[in-house]
Structure 1
Amino acid sequence: MASTGPQDPEALDDETRWRSAGDRIQTLLDASAGSGTVVRERTEQLAAELTDLYGAALERMIAITAGSAPELVDQFAKDELVASLMLVHGLHPHGVERRIEDALDGVRPYLGSHGGDVALLEVVERQDGPVVRLQFAGSCKSCPSSAVTLEYAVEDAVRAAAPEIVSIEVVAAQPDSPESPSLISVDSVLSRLRDHNDRAGATWHPVPDIGDLGQGEIAGFLVAGVPILACRVADDVFAYHDRCGRCHESLAGAALHRPLGAAIGQAVLRCPRCHAHFDVVHAGVGVDDTAETAEHLDPIPLLRRDGVPSVSVIAEASGVM
């Protein structure tokens, strides 16, 4: 099983540096405050003038493109960097609902890996701004997986695609009364999880080599000091902490196989030490008939961000403080 060290920031510069550009600009503006109010105001005015200038140029470029090659405008909208600038200047060709639907399509493979799905019910225009109402379907195979999925995959994707929304509401169907959903605020549902994550320091880390995995291939990676295991099944890639759910040893040397009679797209991972089996497509749940406890692997969120496969490592869950 291959293993890599921490990612070199310089190697990822072209793919990732623009994402933090806003933070760097704000840092420079804050630094100018030390030179007095006048300098701060002039610096902010300069930034605003430059923003308006490239915004006006971008608007003209899109107008010209829409007139000569309208299909390219949709291609612009699919590029995360260009789309983000289009959003800033109100030039995005798609409305908020279309953008959210596209964002949810991007995270559905991860939701599916935990036995769930999500649907956009509506976008409600309220006095303080648009509110997104989502409904989750299916059931996740483990509570940590469910929470991480909602926190990192869905909310992150929706807010990135539609920064103008003011809140996300989740309509969760009750098991005993599927026709009487209850309205839950994401902030209240995830408050304890966020407190946990604040202590743990969960952070996204680009791992471009994961995208090079071949069908049925497994590889190990060391991300921010945390050993993880990634494997490809058909078109999807799944990531887990490199720790067996039964013997808690490393899964180095593990192999994937499709159970006899199972449909294409199903895959079971066998621990090379205790020989326990886990369903990697469905949250790493244990599949052995003799299992006396709810054994499962610990999933790690894996999404394509800025075109680069990235994982979110939760330090406390991995034992790295």
Structure 2
Amino acid sequence: MSATTAEQAGRRIEEVLDRLAEKGDAEACAAAEEVVRVLMEFYGSGIARVVELLGRPAARPPADPLDPLLADELVASLLNLHDLHPEDAQTRIDRALSTLPQPLENAGFDPVTGVLRLRATASTGCGCSGTQESVRQSAVDALACFAPEVTGVELEGRAPREPALLQIGTRPSPAGADGRSPAAL
């Protein structure tokens, strides 16, 4: 695949927009221009993020110089979009799960269906369905950037119950205020 220069890409975009304008469909022309604008913003943000990450001074260099880029959601999504991400699906799934505030365990990924089963490894709150759904949704959001081949997420069972909260306090003294036992009173 030969690299397209910015000039070539710009010329091709202008040709397509001109063809749309010739057809006289102002709505289609406006939509096409918006698509170009959104894509330019997306790629511009991605390139800016790469420059920012590469320009950060590091206390010590990472073992893998690509790691800061691969750990970034925006850069990872661009690499995945163009099938350029060097990590395999399992590594990217693990990376996505490590970004979540709730601990989730990979209970199996089916590459044929795109479904990833997850298991909560700690309590995710009160146990109400809204909380479980928010945990699932945060996993879906992280996976969209790091592992887009995951097209469905199922949260298995419930999290293990945490032990009941024990109240720690002082016991009433067996002796009365004057030091005598209550039985002696």
Normalising by the residue count of structure 1, what TM-score does the alignment of the two structures yield? 0.31
Q: Which has the higher strand share?
A: 1
Q: Which has the higher helix share?
A: 2
Normalising by the residue count of structure 2, what TM-score does the alignment of the two structures yield? 0.48
